[in-house]
């Protein structure tokens, strides 16, 4: 990985860990702060709402701030929010710290992605985005388990202290080796809003929400899928999820390279594989060995689609101001996740069972694939239209000859 991308990846890893680790330490937080588990769960809900609602507003408000100072300011605020969370004496203070952290989340992710794309060679943007997005993979595979491990030995506050320390390292690296020149960005709020009128950007955001809904309708219930459906012992779930995480790391890097070569065809292909994998899981998930293979493929396909979704926004925004579009796209990730979790829960509440939940997940993935196919056809039609030669102008028809009267000759000779 180029060193210029490493601080960005570390920023993403810190933010991703802060978002996800709370779910693993909720019981400890509830017991220590003397609140119910359901009230503690609102820490997750408030964070997600902060990302979706407040994130784009922060991005819009900071649209003309130079990228390096913006990164430094956001990482400083993010670090402070985690210090506040680690010190929080009450539930209300911890909630305030989580909302403060959520305010930085959306814009931090968006700026890291835009900067990574700007540092890449033309045609290599998706690979650069995928390298930065490795931080999110690592947050899932390492950040959350390490946070839970720290909580078990040193209490839940140690998880937030560790994230604050890691964020401080990322902040120092950005300050030491800024990934971009400290000059003002070209676009402002009007330019950012104008990009959102682009139909391709709008469809790309819809595609992100559909794809994430397809993933999380099933993935939200991966624990009961492994134990109740696959028959694995509960004590093995963390190790099995580590295997899924390894698949996601591989898928993320492969997805970036595929998107660089053929963006929309690769999105169509990966979404097709994701839907087929989930359909097979619904049919044969009661076979433990098959379920494990399908879950690893699922993790790879899930993260293979992410660089393409972000690269689609970057290319659709063109050379304009894509940061707000990226921020809203990150919000679309969260909306898709929230809808998928809700939809899967509703199906289970109606006693349809895990197989139906997984089948619904496959259907949503294929709906996303259909949208991607429509965009692929539109792109190819636009390319053919641009490449078609302009119709030749008809040759001018020669005008009918008009007889001209004879010019009378002039005689200079004198008469005889």
Whether 214 and 340 have beta carbons less than 8 Å apart is answered as yes
Q: Cα–Cα distance between 265 and 311 in angstroms, integer?
A: 13
Q: Cα–Cα distance between 176 and 198 in angstroms, integer?
A: 37
DSSP string, 54-120: IHHHHHHHTTTS-HHHHHHHHHHHHHHHHHHHHH--SHHHHHHHHHHHHHHHHHHHHHHHHHHHHHS
**pLDDT at 402 (0 to 100):** 41
Which pTM value belongs to this model? 0.72
Give the closest residue to 195 by CA, choosing from 67, 66, 329, 379: 329
Q: Cα–Cα distance between 203 and 196 in angstroms, integer?
A: 10
- Token duo for residue 156: 């839940």
Q: Cα–Cα distance between 78 and 81 in angstroms, integer?
A: 5
Q: pLDDT per position in the chain (416 positions), as tens?
A: 567 788 888 898 898 888 878 877 777 888 899 888 767 777 877 887 888 888 888 888 887 788 788 889 999 999 999 999 999 999 999 999 999 998 888 888 888 877 877 776 776 767 777 778 777 777 777 777 788 788 878 888 998 999 999 999 999 998 887 766 444 454 555 666 666 677 888 888 899 999 989 988 888 788 788 888 888 888 787 778 778 878 888 888 788 888 888 888 999 999 999 999 999 999 988 899 999 999 999 989 988 888 888 778 777 766 555 677 777 777 788 788 878 888 888 888 888 888 999 999 999 999 999 999 998 998 888 777 665 555 555 555 544 444 444 444 444 444 33
Neighbours of 416 (CB within 10 A): 3
**pLDDT at 169 (0 to 100):** 93
**pLDDT at 385 (0 to 100):** 67
Neighbours of 186 (CB within 10 A): 10
Q: Cα–Cα distance between 257 and 274 in angstroms, integer?
A: 18
Whether 63 and 185 have beta carbons less than 8 Å apart is answered as yes
**pLDDT at 195 (0 to 100):** 65
Neighbours of 26 (CB within 10 A): 18
Q: Cα–Cα distance between 146 and 162 in angstroms, integer?
A: 10
Burial of 406 (0-12, 13-18, 19+ CB in 10 A): exposed
Extended strands (E) in 112-156: none
DSSP string, 144-213: HHHHHHHHHHH-HHHHHHHHHHHHHHHHHHHHHS-SS-S---S--HHHHHHHTT-HHHHHHHHHHHHHHH
Write down the residue that tokens 């199906």 correspond to. 347
**pLDDT at 67 (0 to 100):** 78
Write down the residue that tokens 């679309």 correspond to. 332
């Amino acid at each position: 990985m180029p060193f210029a991308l490493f601080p960005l990846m570390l920023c993403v890893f810190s933010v991703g860990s802060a978002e996800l680790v709370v779910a693993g330490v909720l019981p400890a937080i509830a017991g220590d702060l003397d609140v119910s588990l359901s009230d503690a769960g609102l820490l997750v809900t408030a964070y997600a709402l902060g990302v979706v609602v407040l994130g784009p507003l922060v991005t819009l408000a900071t649209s003309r701030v130079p990228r390096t100072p913006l990164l430094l300011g956001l990482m400083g605020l993010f670090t402070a929010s985690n210090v506040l969370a680690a010190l929080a004496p009450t539930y209300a203070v911890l909630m305030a710290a989580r909302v403060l952290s959520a305010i930085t989340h959306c814009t931090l992710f968006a700026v890291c992605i835009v900067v990574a794309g700007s540092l890449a060679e033309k045609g290599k943007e998706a690979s650069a985005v995928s390298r930065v997005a490795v931080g999110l993979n690592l947050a899932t595979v390492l950040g959350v388990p390490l946070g839970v491990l720290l909580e078990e030995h040193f209490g839940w506050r140690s998880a937030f202290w560790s994230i604050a320390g890691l964020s401080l390292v990322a902040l120092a690296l950005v300050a030491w080796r800024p990934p971009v020149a400290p000059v003002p960005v070209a676009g402002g709020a009007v330019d950012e809003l104008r990009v959102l009128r682009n139909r391709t950007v709008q469809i790309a955001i819809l595609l992100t929400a559909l794809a994430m809904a397809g993933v999380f309708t099933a993935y939200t219930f991966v624990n009961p899928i492994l134990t109740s459906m696959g028959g694995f012992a509960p004590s093995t779930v963390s190790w099995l999820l580590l295997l899924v995480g390894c698949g996601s790391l591989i898928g993320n890097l492969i997805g970036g390279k595929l998107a660089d070569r053929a963006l929309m065809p690769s999105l169509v292909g990966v979404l097709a594989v994701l839907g087929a994998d989930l359909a097979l899981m619904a049919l044969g998930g009661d076979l433990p060995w098959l379920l494990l293979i399908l879950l690893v493929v699922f993790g790879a396909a899930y993260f293979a689609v992410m660089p393409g979704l972000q690269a689609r926004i970057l290319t659709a925004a063109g050379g304009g101001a894509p940061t707000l579009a990226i921020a809203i796209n990150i919000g679309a990730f969260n909306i898709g996740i929230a809808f998928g979790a809700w939809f899967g829960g509703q199906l289970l509440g109606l006693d349809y069972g895990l197989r139906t939940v997984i089948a619904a997940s496959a259907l949503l993935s294929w709906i996303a694939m259909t949208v991607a196919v429509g965009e692929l056809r539109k792109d190819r039609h636009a390319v053919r239209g641009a490449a078609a030669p302009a119709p030749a102008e008809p040759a001018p028809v020669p005008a009918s000859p008009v007889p001209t009267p004879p010019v009378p000759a002039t005689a200079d000779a004198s008469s005889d």
